[in-house]
Structure 1
Amino acid sequence: MNQQLNFPKDFWWGSAWSAEQAEGRGDTGKAETVWEHWFKEEPNRFYNRISSEVTTDHFNRYQEDVQLMKQTGHNSFRLSISWARMFPDGGVGTVNPKAITFYRKLMTEMNENGIKPFVNLYHFDMPFLLQEKGGWESREVVDAYVRFATTCFEEFGDLVYHWFTFNEPLGPILGSYLEGFHYPGIVDFKRGAQAAFHTILAHALAIEAFKKQGYSSKIGVILNLSPTYPRSQNPADIEAAEIVDALYTRSFLDPMVKGTFPTKLVELLKEYHQMPEFEEQDLVIIKENTAQILGLNYYEPRRVKARLTGINPNGPFLPEWFYENYDMPGKRMNVYRGWEIYEKGIYDLCLDIRDNYGNIEAFISENGMGVADEERFMDETGQVIDEYRIDYIKDHLAYVHKAIQEGCQIKGYHLWTFIDCWSWINTYKNRYGLVSLDLATQKRTIKKSGEFYQKMSQDNGFDYDVSKLV
């Protein structure tokens, strides 16, 4: 049964990307990031050996890109500010006036075209020299981040609609300390716990600094959140799911939104001697400086079961000690990315925020479908006819609409991403954009999904077969 799904007035239609994934190096002077350093050390880790040197060349093409945002229906867009560009002395030293000029021009251009700048301060791009000082394990790096954040508030506060301290802070912890997909690829849970605590503290200290400025904008955080589903109602499966939920979801969500740490997580870290070091005053700062707005990144659910195999007690302590992934029969997959497609998960996530986090003002800050070899779907004019992406967007947004109808305070939807951009290690293997990018020429071409997105934004909704909802 088809029905027009209309979204609330002033709904935020847009997309997101990050500085390291889109800007390119530019000519402002920029410190080396961990990604640039890692590429020099191990280019074989990066798909087709493509670095972040050029990416989408947004630094030089931002005016053209803002017009493309407008043509694809954006009334908002989330960018990040490069810490390494702002402080080319490795994240410390003197702020770079050329970087300030670039970002002010970019955000002014956005505002003049009716596109609200949503600005994220940290998206995986640690300046390498700060990583050498310990990265997020170091209190010195926390202090440097707060200086960077405060500088950004002062230089761009008049242009920014909403601020965000971090994007997916869980990512660097998993990648750098447990799973080896971020530099420096350490396997040490306790050091990861220390880095996670300092990230949470940095978030709170940045919010504390922001509140002193008296802006009308809000500040929050963007978290990658996957609802955790146990294989069955067997108590062992449920226990496994609860531990996974504490480790992967509540670990950042609770302290960054509520100001407290989940009891189950603290008990587990104490039992296994994995607690980070901290000062009592840190807990007060975290308690008193929580997110005012929450970005929800949703791509896939997390399905788990109780462990059926033993643990090597001489091996490193890891979350997998407590669970195994459950490969649910019949699940739909994005085979290119290896992720399950489960639209109802976005609804369950929204309800969790409504029911357990004070129904904080929130928006879908990332959701999207990466597909390899999209040239297969080009028509004779060179346009990618990506009906699969249109269906993906509609199917997820239908559940967002349902959540809003049931009282969830979801204010917008940002797709990942705007123009096909460089991805961490995967580089350009999978494409996510509303606009396709020719790597050889940097030519941008709006995909069929970009045309759909423009019409959806213009109509503030779309026609949908609601019988598909459960």
Structure 2
Amino acid sequence: MAWYQVLVLGALLSVSWCTEDWTFPPGFKFGAATSAYQVEGAWNVSDKGESIWDRYTHTRPEDIADGSNGDVACDSYNLWQTDIDNMVDLGLHYYRFSISWSRLLPNGFANKISEDGARYYNNLIDGLLEKGIEPLVTLYHWDLPQNLQDLGGWTNPLIADWFSDYARVAYSLFGDRVKMWLTINEPMAICDVPYNAGAWAPGILSPDHGTHLCNKNLLLAHAKAYRVYDEEFRAMYNGEISLSNILFWFEPWTEDDHDLAELAIQYCAGRYSHAIYSKEGGWPPAIEKIMEENSKKKGYSKSNFPAFTQEEIEFIKGTFDYFALNFYGAMLVRAAEEGEQLGPWPFGDIPDINAVIGYRPEWPENIVSILGIYPEGLRKQLHWLKENYGDMKFLITENGYPTRGEPNDQDRIEYIEVHLREILLAIKEGINLTHYTVWSLMDNFEWADGYGTRFGLYEVDFNDPLRPRTPRDSAAFYAKVIKNHALDEE
């Protein structure tokens, strides 16, 4: 029995009923995603400004597995019509893409709007709508203008104003046609990876301060961008807006680790969700307490986990229209033994909560190797979110499987299928989940992995200047699911 069959069987046995109806509810939507730096290329075309990923890959190529960069990437700046044709072949209901902040606002500030950047995104949005494909637009997918990074980036509290000014420009230019918005993609990747581990742009190692300043400022920036839409544009355009979080499901290593697993979920999900989605707002109390204790142990006179004022708590709380979840896999967690050396988070051990990370032997691994494949964890994560933050609309805004680029990508097909089955089970169990998004539409620049890791439904030949796209077997599978609005019953 293949790994995916074992996982599906386990999922069915874990619920009190079985179903032969694998049809998705009416109105359920299927999409695929990319991000600006990963696919657009044209990094210095026209008046586009430099981003932190432009600077990072050009000055620290040794930090990228193959020494590559996103200068050309998939050349979607020039090939966006080809991309739309591929979306039509798939039958996508929507396309999730991001705007390059420095392409639209070359110096990062709203005093100068690029005509070329505005034209590019207008053409893409209009082209999608002409084919009946809804745009789901992310304002920020990691590519901060370098000009703003030079002023402190996400550790400067003024970035909340800079970001809301940028958001206002985007809403003004595109809000008449874009009805689904995400302010920020994966806050944990923006704050924890660069500042906790010194990896990824901007690559500044500052675990005691940078990570936490980034965390708070990012939540405030999201809230300001939400408030701008809510107060100035919602009545005109009647859209919806939230941010997207990457969440890992944590299973206890032993029976004694249940409380620690909950703490790990709060550390990863709660730090970037509790302030927005919980009824009380602010930081998760357990995390705030442990971070204060850690600060004292390190000799600080007060907590380096920045507190929210009551005004900030109220300002951030409730700034969502749905919960957007990026999910790839799960981890085991156990308490570290005395004297045990812990690796840095992300995405190894979690020193802040004295936790060691591992994987169950029965969880299949993928080539990224930071997560075990545990589709049931997605369903458990959705229930956890509903129990902790209430009944709301959920969107899966990323879910995908990496390979080395094989055209026959059966593992990706199986990965998508088992997660879609978990989604259907979750819906049957009362989760209001309306969208599923494959990461990604096509192979692209996968950050520190360069072009060696491939997530695409479409293969991209990065050795060919024309960047041809070729559908993999997973593209045909996904198109069939969308067309039938159902999975096979077998």
**Same fold, TM exceeding 0.5?**
yes
Matched, 1:254 2:274: yes
Counterpart in the other structure of 2:258: 238
Counterpart in the other structure of 1:396: 419
Whole-angstrom CA distance in 2 between matches of 1:330 and 1:77: 34
Tell me, yes or no, if the aligned pair for 2:359 and 2:371 is still in contact at 8 Å: no
Residue in structure 2 matched with residue 411 of structure 1 by the alignment: 434
Partner of 1:172: 190
Query: Among residues 304, 310, 313, which one is paired with 1:283 in the alignment?
Result: 313
* Residue pair 1:180, 1:187 contacting (<8 A) in 2 also: yes
Kindly report the root-mean-square deviation, in angstroms, between the aligned alpha carbons of the 2 structures. 2.1
Structure-2 change in CA distance of 1:2 and 1:283 (3 Å): closer
After superposition, residues 221-232 of structure 1 pair within 5 angstroms as 221-232=243-254
1:416-455 paired onto structure 2 within 5 Å: 416-441=439-464, 442-455=467-480
1:311/1:277 CA distance change after superposition, 3 Å? farther
Q: 2:351 aligns with which of 309, 317, 320?
A: 320
Q: Which residue of 1 aligns with 2:337?
A: 308
> What amino acid is the match of 1:443?
P
Please report how far the alpha carbon of residue 311 of structure 1 lies from its aligned counterpart in structure 2 after TM superposition: 6.9
1:205 aligns with 2:224: yes
Amino acid at match of 2:460: L
What is aligned with 1:380? none
Unaligned runs of 5+ in 2: 1-17, 296-302
Query: Quick check: 400-409 or 211-220, which moved more?
Result: 211-220
Residue 440 of structure 1: how far off its partner (Å): 2.0
Instruction: Work out whether residues 353 and 360 of structure 1, in 8 Å CA contact, stay in contact via their aligned partners in 2.
Output: no
State the identity %: 28
303-312 vs 165-174, which moves further? 303-312
Q: For 1:57, which of 66, 70, 75 is the aligned residue?
A: 75
Asked if 1:463 is matched to 2:488, the reply is yes
Query: In structure 2, what residue type is equivalent to 1:154?
Result: S
Aligned counterpart for 2:179 among listed residues 145, 152, 161: 161
> 1:295-339: per-residue Cα shift (whole Å, max 9, x none)?
1111011211001142789x99x9414111134333321145443
Structure 1 distance, partners of 2:108, 2:419, is 40
Report what 1:87 is aligned to.
105
Runs of 4+ aligned residues of structure 1 deviating over 3 Å after TM superposition are 1-4, 90-93, 277-280, 335-338
Query: What amino acid sits opposite 2:217 in the alignment?
Result: H
1:100-148 Cα deviation digits (max 9, x unpaired): 1111110010011011100111111111111111111112222111100
Deviations 1:205-260 (A, max 9, x none): 111100121221100111101122111121xx234323322211111111122343
Q: Are 2:41 and 1:24 aligned?
A: yes
Q: Does structure 2 retain, via aligned residues, the 8 Å contact 1:2–1:464?
A: no
Name the residue aligned to 1:265.
287
Distance 1:151 1:440 in 2: 37
Paired letter, 1:456: V
The DSSP-based 3-state class of the residue aligned with 1:13 is strand
1:345 equivalent in alignment to 2:364: no
Q: Which runs of 5+ in 1 are unaligned?
A: 375-383, 466-470
Deviation at 1:290, TM superposition (A): 1.5
Contact 1:203 1:256 in 2 (8 A): no
Task: Indicate conservation of the 8 Å contact 1:83/1:91, yes or no.
Answer: no
Q: In structure 2, do the counterparts of structure 1 residues 145 and 255 end up closer, same or farther at CA, with 3 Å as the change threshold?
A: same
